[in-house]
Amino acid sequence: EPEVTQTPSHQVTQMGQEVILRCVPISNHLYFYWYRQILGQKVEFLVSFYNNEISEKSEIFDDQFSVERPDGSNFTLKIRSTKLEDSAMYFCAGAVGTASTDTQYFGPGTRLTVL
Amino acid sequence: GEDVEQSLFLSVREGDSSVINCTYTDSSSTYLYWYKQEPGAGLQLLTYIFSNMDMKQDQRLTVLLNKKDKHLSLRIADTQTGDSAIYFCAETPTGTASKLTFGTGTRLQVTL
State which H helix or E strand residue A57 sits in: strand A53-57
Query: Using an 8 Å Cβ cutoff, are A29 and A95 in contact?
Result: yes
Q: Is the pLDDT of residue B82 over 70?
A: yes
Q: For A86, phi and psi rounded to 5 degrees?
A: -80, -10
CA pair distance B59, A39, nearest whole angstrom: 32
pLDDT at B25 over 90: no
pLDDT at position A42 is: 87
Amino acid at A101: T
Residue A49 scores a pLDDT above 80: yes
Residue B45 has pLDDT above 70, yes or no: yes
The CA distance from B35 to A58, in Å, is 21
Average pLDDT over residues B37-61: 88
- Measured between beta carbons, the chain B residues lying within 8 angstroms of A45 are 99-101
Q: Which of B100, B104, B106, B107 to mutate to test the interface with A (most CBs of A within 10 A)?
A: B100
Contact between A68 and A7 under an 8 Å Cβ cutoff? The reply is no
**pLDDT, position A19:** 98
- pLDDT greater than 70 at residue A73: yes
Q: Find chain A residues with C-beta within 8 A of B39's C-beta.
A: none
Categorize the per-residue pLDDT at B40 as very low, low, confident or very high, splitting at 50, 70 and 90.
confident
Considering only the beta carbons, identify the residue of B45, B48, B102 that sits closest to A43: B102
Give the residue from B109, B45, B53 showing the smallest Cα distance to B83. B109
Distance from C-alpha of B51 to C-alpha of B94, rounded to nearest angstrom: 10
If residue A110 lies in a helix (H) or strand (E), which one and from where to where? strand A110-114
DSSP per position, B4-39:
EEE-SEEEEETTS-EEEEEEE--TTEEEEEEEEE-T
CB contact under 8 A, B43 and A55: no
CA distance A23 to A4: 7
Return left, alpha or beta for B72; rule: phi > 0 is left, psi -120 to 50 is alpha, else beta: beta
Cβ contact B109:B80 at 8 Å: no
Rounded mean pLDDT, A29-57: 91
Could you tell me the end-to-end alpha-carbon distance of chain B, in angstroms, rounded to an integer? 41
Angle at B80 between CA B79 and CA B84, to 5 degrees: 95
Q: In B, which residues are within 8 Å of A4 by CB distance?
A: 42
Q: What is the C-alpha to C-alpha distance for residues B89 and A70, in angstroms, rounded to an integer?
A: 33
Partner residue facing B100 (CB), from A104, A108, A109 = A104
Question: How many Cα atoms are found within 13 Å in the side-chain-facing hemisphere of A40?
Answer: 0
Closest among A56, A92, A97, A60 to A77, alpha carbons compared: A92
